[in-house]
Amino acid sequence: MPTLTYRDALNQALREELQRDDNVFLMGEEVAEYNGAYKVSRGLLEEFGPRRIVDTPIAELGFAGIGVGSAMVGLRPVIEMMTWNFALLAIDQIVNAAAKIRYMSGGQFGCPIVFRGPGGAALQLGSQHSQAFESWYAHVPGLKVIAPATPADAKGLLKSAIRDDNPVIFMEGEMLYNTKGEVPEGEHVVPIGKADIKREGSDLTLICHSKTVSVALKAADQLGKEDIAAEVLDLRTIRPLDTDAILGSVAKTHRCVIVEEGWPYAGVGAQVAYTIQHEAFDELDAPIERVTGADVPMPYNRALEKAAKADPAKVVQAAKRALYLES
């Protein structure tokens, strides 16, 4: 099985879907001539031409609206946001148009569109460029929200997103583009709404997604050195949430730590914790623990930025609290 970077897996998914369906096109800032701000669209302009790989002005609201309109009349646009921080300028088109048009038109119009790009913190990009917005979009009926952690999942889920008949928010971890992993050749499609156990365990469950999957796996390695078997469950899709996988893992381990990059208040972990306590309260042997980003704008200072992020040490501490090994 070939080993690809996360960005090359996304590139492969885009190329395959552009080849498969003439209605698919890519639009966004620098996606064509520059091969994408993060080189995800490398080589696509040469292969598919400027009608299907479309550079735009710095006008997120404008080209998001063009994408929504084209999806309503039968095309399948993939709209690249240079970063999800910039998508705040397009949130009216995403939330008030794309998410609602099927409902408000009584099913007369669909909106098969993918909004994709990098999200979350990188390294010292400041508070306005370091935000994880998964919970914002997951709050909206009509949107599907995907946050893959591995190259294989990135490829398989992007292909599913492009084929879906609903608007999809596809959030790529900015620090994941250079990560490598095995990616199946040929037709590799990962179903939307299915979580994945990245590591089996029996003592507690670490629930995570996107960049925090690697954080949870490193924490599980450290816990393993103390004979603590942590299961790592990658949500992959934030909405729809794979409730069965979550409840199944907690029923096996009876303890849970939820790890996410975003802020704690009304975050993804809050929804997951509610789901567990409502559906599997009697399975819990300890309160659910959460590890999140700090509840502050992301600092620019390197040491403060590091302190504000979820990391393996914080996950290990939370796991030990869940196991009553630390207070």
Residue 237 has pLDDT above 80, yes or no: yes
Q: Identify whether the C-beta of residue 286 lies closer than 8 Å to the C-beta of residue 259.
A: no
Residues 313 and 255 grouped into a single domain = yes
Kindly state whether residue 190 falls inside one of the protein's structural domains: no
| pLDDT-above-90 percentage for the chain | 98
Please give the average per-residue pLDDT across 19-32, as a whole number: 97
Please give the average per-residue pLDDT across 284-295, as a whole number: 98
Residues 263 and 308 grouped into a single domain = yes
Residues 200 and 309 grouped into a single domain = yes
Please give the average per-residue pLDDT across 112-128, as a whole number: 94
* Residues marked as catalytic: 60, 129
- What is the DSSP secondary structure assignment for residue 246, as one 8-state letter? H
User: CB under 8 Å to 22, separation ≥6 — which residues?
Assistant: none
Please give the average per-residue pLDDT across 133-154, as a whole number: 98
The predicted-structure confidence for 165-215, as pLDDT tens digits, reads as follows: 999 999 999 899 999 999 998 899 999 999 999 999 999 999 999 999 999
Closest CA to 249 of 232, 236, 226, 237: 232
Predicted TM-score (pTM) of this structure: 0.96
Please give the average per-residue pLDDT across 3-25, as a whole number: 98
Q: Identify whether the C-beta of residue 92 lies closer than 8 Å to the C-beta of residue 161.
A: no
CATH number at residue 48: 3.40.50.970
3-class SS shares of the chain: helix, strand, coil, % to 5:
40, 20, 45
The first and second tokens of residue 179, run together, are 């990560």
Please give the average per-residue pLDDT across 287-296, as a whole number: 98
Among 182, 214, 240, where does a domain finish?
182
The first and second tokens of residue 216, run together, are 């949870």
- The reported pLDDT for the residue numbered 319 is 98
Closest CA to 14 of 185, 168, 154: 154
The Cα–Cα gap between 267 and 222 comes to 26
Sheet harboring 24-28: ordered strands across?
53-55, 24-28, 76-80, 114-119, 168-173, 144-146, 237-239
User: CB under 8 Å to 46, separation ≥6 — which residues?
Assistant: none
Query: Coil, helix or strand for 25?
Result: strand
- The reported pLDDT for the residue numbered 140 is 98
The first and second tokens of residue 94, run together, are 């995403």
- The reported pLDDT for the residue numbered 77 is 98
Residues 200 and 178 grouped into a single domain = no
The Cα–Cα gap between 164 and 169 comes to 11
Residues 174 and 218 grouped into a single domain = no
Residues 271 and 301 grouped into a single domain = yes
Kindly state whether residue 327 falls inside one of the protein's structural domains: no
When pLDDT is cut at 50, 70 and 90, the band that residue 33 belongs to is: very high
- The reported pLDDT for the residue numbered 57 is 96
When pLDDT is cut at 50, 70 and 90, the band that residue 114 belongs to is: very high
Residues 23 and 149 grouped into a single domain = yes
- The reported pLDDT for the residue numbered 186 is 82
The Cα–Cα gap between 210 and 215 comes to 10
Query: What is the pLDDT of the chain when averaged over all its residues?
Result: 97
When pLDDT is cut at 50, 70 and 90, the band that residue 318 belongs to is: very high
Rg of the chain over CA atoms, in angstroms? 20
> Count of domains in the chain?
2
Residues 216 and 173 grouped into a single domain = no
When pLDDT is cut at 50, 70 and 90, the band that residue 1 belongs to is: confident
Residues 291 and 160 grouped into a single domain = no
When pLDDT is cut at 50, 70 and 90, the band that residue 150 belongs to is: very high
Residue 209 lies in domain: 196-322
The Cα–Cα gap between 315 and 2 comes to 32
Residues 17 and 158 grouped into a single domain = yes
Please give the average per-residue pLDDT across 10-39, as a whole number: 97
Q: What DSSP string describes 111-162?
A: ---EEEEEES--SS--GGG----HHHHHTSTT-EEE---SHHHHHHHHHHHH
Residues 130 and 225 grouped into a single domain = no
The first and second tokens of residue 237, run together, are 């899709």
| pLDDT-above-70 percentage for the chain | 100
When pLDDT is cut at 50, 70 and 90, the band that residue 161 belongs to is: very high
Among 130, 160, 182, where does a domain finish?
182
The predicted-structure confidence for 260-283, as pLDDT tens digits, reads as follows: 999 999 999 999 999 999 999 999
> Among 77-81, 119-123, 323-327, whose mean pLDDT is lowest?
323-327
CA dist 228 → 199, 201, 247, 249, 258 (Å): 13, 8, 20, 16, 17
Closest CA to 159 of 185, 181, 189, 137: 189
Residue 326 has pLDDT above 90, yes or no: no
CA dist 221 → 214, 224, 245, 314 (Å): 11, 5, 22, 14
Kindly state whether residue 46 falls inside one of the protein's structural domains: yes
Closest CA to 197 of 239, 153, 158: 153
- The reported pLDDT for the residue numbered 292 is 98
Residues 203 and 307 grouped into a single domain = yes
The Cα–Cα gap between 299 and 307 comes to 9
Strand blocks (E) in the chain:
3-5, 24-28, 53-55, 76-80, 114-119, 144-146, 168-173, 180-182, 196-199, 204-208, 230-234, 237-239, 256-259, 289-291
